Amino acid sequence: MAEFPLPARLAEKCRQDPDKAQWLARLPAVVAELVERWGLHLSAPYEQEVSCAWVAPATLGNGAPAVLKVGLPHMEAREEIEGLCCWDGEPTVRLLESDKECNALLLERCEPGTPLRALPEPEQDVILAGLLGRLWRIPPEPHPFRPLAEMTAYWSEESLAGADTWPDTGLAQAGLELFWELPLSAPDHALLATDLHAGNVLCAQRQPWLVIDPKPFVGDPAFDLTQHLLNCKGRLAADPAGFIRRLAELCGVEEERVRLWTFARLAAEHDSWHGTHALTRALAP
């Protein structure tokens, strides 16, 4: 690669933060070193939907396809390597090589790689529920995975820092209270993906669908339904109770906990309020 290719979304994200800008400045040298060490031939990086990592198709020395991913430092994704080792390809992409210090992963390539979002949303529900049932497991001790409460505490701090932008203080405070209460009251705990939605599931050959980009934490399985719900805001707004009930039944988790987690995320994550005030109120406890 004579000139280092940089996706526009990634460049824009890094320009907004000095630490990310430093990471971006080091990125060409990191990628060059990994190419040499792992004997890779790279194609142009993926452009769409990639804003927190540099991700490119790779070919190994034996001709096998792979994907090189070098991630931005990211609180939520800190144990991605360990999570992929724990799941070991069931039902995630397999980890071929890794470098924790560089936050670099050499991954199994999904081919043809069509995202699950190409299917109608009701079909997505069924496939995602099946994948979640396989992802949820108790990791053997000792393990490196943080409790879900650590992520909700981090989100709470971010939300409080923007309190002057809250569109509804009462709802936001109710969401923050649930961010504290729900992790403590969970009846079950499992290893979660936490960011599972139809854009993070790709069509593959080894299995019909494989999960990419997990952000593993240990906690309440009901939480893991929320990202798909929030990514289908049209259906959620049209029939919040019905959509939540359907997904909870498909996944075998408590419907009320899914509703409370969904409300908490809508209410406390102040940057996700656009056009959702009525929906947030409809889900309020």
Q: Where are the domains of the chain?
A: 8-108, 116-283
Residue 72 and residue 23 in contact, taking contact as beta carbons nearer than 8 Å? yes
Q: How far apart are CA 193 and CA 175, in angstroms?
A: 21
Q: How far apart are CA 62 and CA 84, in angstroms?
A: 23
Catalytic residues: 195
- The tens place of each residue's pLDDT in the chain, 285 residues long, gives 447 899 999 999 898 889 999 999 999 999 999 999 999 999 999 987 778 999 999 999 999 999 999 999 899 999 999 999 999 999 999 999 999 999 999 999 999 999 999 999 999 999 999 999 999 999 999 999 999 999 999 999 999 998 988 888 999 999 999 999 999 999 999 999 999 999 999 999 999 999 999 999 999 999 999 999 999 999 999 999 999 999 999 999 999 999 999 999 999 875 555 567 889 999 998
Strands 201-203 and 209-211: what pairing? antiparallel
> Quick one: 146 exposed, middle or buried, by C-beta within 10 A (0-12, 13-18, 19+)?
middle
Options 3.40.50.620, 3.30.300.180, 3.90.1200.10, 3.40.640.10; CATH for 116-283 is: 3.90.1200.10
CATH 3.40.640.10 is the classification of domain 8-108: no
DSSP label at residue 142: S
- The CA-CA-CA angle for residues 130, 131, 137, to 5°, reads 105
Q: How far apart are CA 210 and CA 129, in angstroms?
A: 13
